[in-house]
Each structure stands twice: as C-alpha cells, then as structure tokens.
Structure 1
Amino acid sequence: MVDLDTADRAASVVGAALGVVGLLVSVYALFRPSPSPSPSGTGTTRRVRSRGRRAMAAGGNINGNAFGTRATVRPSAPTAAPTPPADDVEGDVQAFGRDALGAAGGISRNAFVDNSRA
C-alpha cells in the first residue's frame, strides 16, 4: 500500500497533466482549420453571425416563428413543398444591431415583436 502523502502527490501530478492536455485541446480548437465546405459544393463556408439585442441570423430559412411576449403564429394551410435552404448562395449572413435580422434563405410567417400575430 501507498501512504496518503504519496497518493496526494500522485493525484496532483495526474490532475496537472490532464489540465495541460485540456488547455492544449482548447488552443487547437481555437486555431484549427475551417470546417468542411458547404453542401453546395462551391468550396466556401458560410459564417452566420448576429450581434446586438434581440438580433437573429440564420444560415437558411426563417419561417413560422414567434419571438416576443404573447407573439403568435397561426398554423397555415399545407403548401406543396417548403422552400429549401439557400445552399447555393455564397457569402456570410450577418445581423448586427438591435432587432437586426439576417437569413440566407426566405423569411416568412413570423411574429417578431410583442403582441404580434402572423
């Protein structure tokens, strides 16, 4: 058997080593190469960013959502086919500023403010 003092030292060394490994994995994740290309096959990757109070951004469609206090969206009649996301559109999607909205696809049937209906 090992005494408690030796076990304490061993646990400290193992914990420190695992902490260093975690730090290295985090640094690698920050600086790793960009993710794989978009499904459109164009070889580009779309970045979707929003910044600001109640700002929203989507890499595809924004349809049938309710945002805000007592905002509601009524069910709609079924359509032939939903609009597919805009994978063939190149470029980033950005929504910066208060209540900003950005989408790479369609924006329809949404209630965006308090007490609104769509």
Structure 2
Amino acid sequence: MTHWVRPALWALAVVAGAGVAVLAGVAVWGDLDTADRVASVAGASAALLGLVVSVVALARTGQGDGGRRLHAGPRAVVIDGDANRSAIGEGSQVVAPPAPAPPPGGRRTTRPSDVSAARDSTVVLGNATDSALGRNSERRTP
C-alpha cells in the first residue's frame, strides 16, 4: 500500500462509524420521517462514493500501477519464481538429482511492470529449477 492509503482507510472507517451513530441517534431521538430522509441521503452519498472509488481503482489498474518493481544491482540475482535445486551466485555448486517435472500448465504469475537489470545482473522472471546461475556456478547430478 502507498503511504497515504492506510490513514485514508482509517479516516473513512471513523467517518462511517460517526455516520452510523448519527443515524441511530436520529432514529431514536427524532421522528421516523426525518430518520428516513437522512438515511436516504446517506445511502445515496455512500453509493456515489463507492462508484468514484471503483472508477479510480479501475483506472489505476489499467495503468499498471499495481505491479511490483524489481531492480537488480550489479552482480545481483533476482528470481520471480521457484529456484529449487539450483546453484545461484558466483562459484556456487549443487549436486542433487533432477527435480520432478512441474505440473501441467505451469505456475501462473503476474509479472512486474518494470524490471531493471544492471551490468552483470541476472533476472529470471519465472521458475529457475535445476539451474546454475552466476559466474563459475555448477549444477551436477550424482
């Protein structure tokens, strides 16, 4: 969540709680005709606010703001998936039997909208099972 979303949600919860208290007070201490009118205005206002929030959320989703940003520094390794039985990093070695075959259809993921891979970096956007990544790394089977 961005830095302003959490306080905005708390403010909305406080305002909603105050609104419920006011509606209950009008229903108890006022007449039912007034409570009915206040509840109608409050319901229409809440519906309009919900419409605005949903349109804003849909517009932001279409721009790709919901994805992660992956930035790999020099000689870094970033993997967005499984890395079982892999030799990762400079000079690493793994001796293990091959991993079982993945299930049909694979793993579906949402890919990040921005990836930066600097000089000497390795970025794998998916599964890196049974791999050797990095300088002088070695993956062997017994």
Q: TM-score range by the shorter chain?
A: 0.3 to 0.5
- After TM superposition, the score normalised by the length of structure 2 is 0.34
With structure 1 as the length reference, what TM-score do the two structures score? 0.39
More helix by share: 2
**The structure with more radius of gyration:** 2
